[in-house]
């Protein structure tokens, strides 16, 4: 072998070994950096663009990035501390779930009214429980929807069932105190409300329910369910007139119900219109897109209604006796 050939071979070996050493050093540096991070930051989860995710996740074509797809359930839980386009949806209702569960303890052990009987505490706690279910199911849906289409449908069923539970719980509590002194009417309306809202509980068991094509019909059903939930109040007004309502200057009951209805209606409008991302696709992928705003309206409505229920309770319990039966 000539000296030139030997020199060339030596150079190639040195270059090759140098590359191997560099790769090892890079691995060491990378591993050191990873060990220096918190466990949830190691090996960041991959996010995808709209066109790269499965079709069942392509619900809103104005949200262009930040998608999770084909995650394991463990990766879904780890994604709680990552930032993606479902983070706002998960945490808005996750925080509300924690708050409502805490309020259930207040319902039973707190000072909700000096004259509150155990039955009053149960009525208020049942409303809070319905809200807790709603927020828990919603959180689980938005956390795990990216696992698979099967998971999307299964958790979607829970999500929509939770919505019906909250509508029923909200209307039932107001109906209980509206007809507090008329058990016959109270029983009739409570049974009817439960029956009507069963449509929203069992409807999600059908696969078509969770599809994007059914979006407007879902919204329509829940709006109609909300309208029907106001029927007991309309009945009460027809029988007694507005003078028999809790005075707005003393109790937050009627102002609270009006505010709750306003929050829900505004949220539905934003949800269906897909505002504001419709105006600037891709700009609201992570923060303040329509679904997050809808969640905020739902939380505001639920908390407002909790105050309204306490006001209805105070209105009834502040009276020594029930007025004459209609």
Look up residue 102 and give its two tokens: 């805490």
Residue 7 to residue 97: CA distance in whole angstroms:
72
Q: Which 3 state secondary structure label does DSSP give 48?
A: strand
Residue positions forming the annotated binding site: 142, 291, 295
Contact between residue 284 and residue 277 where contact means Cβ atoms under 8 Å apart? yes
Q: Provide the phi-psi class of 65: left if phi over 0, else alpha when psi is between -120 and 50, else beta.
A: beta
Residue positions forming the annotated binding site for Zn(2+): 142, 291, 295
Contact between residue 236 and residue 291 where contact means Cβ atoms under 8 Å apart? no
Q: What is the DSSP letter of 276?
A: T
Query: How many angstroms from the chain centroid is the CA of residue 242?
Result: 34
Residue 176 to residue 307: CA distance in whole angstroms:
15
């Amino acid at each position: 072998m000539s000296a030139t050939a030997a020199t060339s071979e030596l150079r190639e070996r040195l270059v090759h070994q140098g590359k191997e050493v560099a790769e090892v050093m890079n691995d060491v540096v990378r591993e050191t950096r990873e060990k220096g991070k918190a466990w949830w930051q190691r090996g960041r989860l991959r996010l995808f663009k709209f066109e790269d995710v499965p079709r069942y996740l392509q619900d809103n074509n104005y949200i262009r990035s930040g998608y999770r797809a084909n995650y394991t359930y463990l990766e879904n839980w780890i994604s709680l501390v990552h930032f993606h386009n479902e983070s706002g949806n998960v945490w808005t209702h996750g925080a509300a779930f924690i708050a409502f569960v805490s309020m259930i303890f207040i319902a039973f052990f707190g000072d909700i009214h000096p004259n509150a009987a155990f039955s009053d505490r149960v009525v208020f706690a049942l409303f809070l429980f319905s809200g807790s279910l709603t927020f828990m199911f919603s959180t689980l849906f938005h956390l795990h929807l990216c696992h698979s289409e099967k998971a999307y449908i299964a958790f979607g069923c829970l999500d929509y069932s939770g919505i019906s539970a909250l509508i029923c719980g909200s209307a039932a509590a107001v109906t209980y105190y509206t007809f507090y002194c008329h058990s016959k009417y109270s029983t009739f309306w409570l049974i009817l409300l439960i029956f009507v809202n069963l449509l929203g509980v069992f409807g999600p068991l059908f696969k078509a329910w969770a599809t994007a094509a059914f979006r407007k019909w879902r919204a329509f059903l829940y709006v109609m369910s909300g309208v029907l939930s106001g029927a007991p109040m309309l009945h009460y007004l027809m029988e007694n007139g507005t003078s028999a309502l809790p005075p707005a200057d003393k109790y937050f009951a009627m102002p609270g119900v009006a505010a709750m209805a306003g929050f829900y209606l505004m949220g539905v409008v934003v949800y269906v219109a897909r505002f504001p991302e419709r105006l600037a696709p891709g700009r609201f992928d992570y923060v303040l897109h329509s679904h997050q705003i809808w969640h905020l309206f739902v939380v505001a409505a639920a908390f407002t209604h909790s105050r309204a229920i306490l006001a209805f309770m105070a209105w009834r319990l502040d009276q020594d006796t029930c007025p004459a039966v209609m």
